[in-house]
Amino acid sequence: MAKHKLRIGYVGTSIASYFATEYHQRERAITGLETLAQAWDFELVAIADEVMSVEAAEQAAERLRDAQVDFLLLQTAGCSIGEQILPLARVAPRMGLWATPEPHPDGDIKLHSFVSMSHFASILAQTLKDEHIPFKWFYGHVESAEFQRPFGITVRALTTVKNMQRARIGWFGGLAPGFINMQFDAAQMQKRLGLQIVPHELHDLIDRAKGYDAAQVARTAQTIRAAATSVRVTESAAFDRVTRLYLAMHDFVRENGYDSLAVSCWSEFQEVYRIAPCMAYSWMGSEDGIAVACEGDVYGAVSMYLLNLLTGGHGSSTLLDMAVIDTLNPAALMWHCGVSPRHFANRDGIHWVDHVTLGRKSEHVYGVAGDQVFAANTATISYVSADGATLLVVGAEIVERDNPGYAGTRGWFTDFTLNREPITLQDLVHTLTIGGHPHHYAVGLGNVTAELIEFATWTNLARIQMRPYTQYLT
């Protein structure tokens, strides 16, 4: 679905005995922020007036409050008095304090911007400590990398916060059998993150899938077949049925405003509709950019949507198991049985095949699933759990090896970080195992670990912390 834009307020405070006006501090800031708003897709509500008194700060605060800004960027354009921040501190749920360098290295001090920013920070942290006003500080002129890099992280993190608060997750068929460790409290999830989880019966999808016109299904199926390197599906009618499922999910998303889905993929699908639904999930991710978590994993759907908001682009993240660990040449095989979008694939592309595990000890064969090896890339691994209270933040590199791993959608991951700090494979596995982490992982392309950490901080999510591996129980 379309993103909700972040609305950022700007105000620059000063007093008349300094030179904010003469050095065009406010004009420079607003012009630069307008350029960034266009490039980074946020709305800017800027106060261009000189704010040189408490009364002017109160008037600016009223205008910003009426504009319902999500984040207030308060620049100490020049030396400011402490009382100026008091009305402005209550304008938005989150704040940024921004200082700029002096225009000259010696002589009379002209701006005193940095000291006033520090002064305001102390008021927020000490004088107003009982109000728990979250803030981040920035330094540098608006066009500098010194300012833009941390500000860009904040824009992306807070855009994600805003969209998570408005997210709608469609949940079909409950959890897969036995997945009791992925049970959740929907009310707590909504309280902590703002999102809404809407349950459906699996039959809602299946009944709709059966109703599509055969010609429409055939056209869509041909497109999906043509995108694959090969199609090796035993039952041709299965391709028709999974294509129908894709169309049903696509229409449910469009009609209900869902941002991601969690769909239980076994065993009801096999009993009632005789398919493995993996291809439909994969195609939703690659073509519609909509995350579909298999096995009814709502945490997975939330985590994938979180990554989708940060990584951008057309394609979705994916959901994987850590299936194998290689402790001699440290790497982990991240795998699932056929659900990853095709943009993860290496040059060999994706192959549509029968499901690699469902029905393999019986006379039944179920299609359709994906088979692909991931291309070398940078990746982010994350997962929201504990009713929305905790967040996993892992960075990694995907590497291609001579051994491609087991059939399904998969890749070898190495060079891990946890909370942006390097971590060994054994320490990571120990941290996750001892901590009881659910066995699913949302994986997106690119490194957005800085944004995830800031997202967790703004929303008071606890990040999973390292627990070093030992051969003895501690």
Strands across the sheet containing 7-13 = 43-46, 7-13, 71-76, 94-99, 135-139
Taking only the tens place, the pLDDT of each residue in 445-456 is 999 999 999 999
Q: Are residues 192 and 263 in the same domain?
A: yes
| pLDDT score for 174 | 97
Q: Are residues 145 and 174 in the same domain?
A: no
Q: Is residue 471 part of a domain?
A: no
- 354's CB contacts (< 8 A; 6+ apart) are 232, 233, 234, 276, 365, 366, 367, 368, 369
Choosing from 119, 149, 179, the residue where a domain stops is 149
Assigned token pair, 117: 């920013």
Using CA atoms, how far apart are residues 30 and 50, in angstroms rounded to an integer?
13
1 pLDDT band, cuts 50/70/90, is: low
Taking only the tens place, the pLDDT of each residue in 3-51 is 899 999 999 999 999 999 999 999 999 999 999 999 999 999 999 999 9
Choosing from 149, 176, 204, the residue where a domain stops is 149
291 pLDDT band, cuts 50/70/90, is: very high
Using CA atoms, how far apart are residues 58 and 296, in angstroms rounded to an integer?
50
Taking only the tens place, the pLDDT of each residue in 266-286 is 999 999 999 999 999 999 999
Exposure of 359 in the CB half-sphere (CA atoms within 13 A)? 17
Cβ burial of 41 (10 Å; 0-12, 13-18, 19+) is middle
Choosing from 149, 175, 201, the residue where a domain stops is 149
- Residue 221: in which H helix or E strand, if any? helix 214-226
Q: Are residues 104 and 175 in the same domain?
A: no
Cα 293 to chain center, whole Å? 14
Which residue range forms the structural domain that includes residue 81?
A: 7-149
- The residue-averaged pLDDT of 236-242 equals 96
Percentage of the chain with pLDDT > 70? 99
Q: Any idea what the CATH number is for the domain that residue 86 is in?
A: 3.40.50.1070
363 pLDDT band, cuts 50/70/90, is: confident
CB 381 within 8 A of CB 394: yes
Q: Are residues 203 and 281 in the same domain?
A: yes
Q: Is residue 111 part of a domain?
A: yes
Tell me if the pTM is above 0.95: yes
Q: Is residue 226 part of a domain?
A: yes
Phi, psi for 430 (deg, rounded to 5): -65, -45
Q: Are residues 116 and 183 in the same domain?
A: no
Q: Is residue 156 part of a domain?
A: no
Q: How many domains does the chain have?
A: 2
Phi, psi for 144 (deg, rounded to 5): -85, 150
Quickly tell me which residue has 């393999």 as its tokens.
360
Q: Are residues 210 and 351 in the same domain?
A: yes
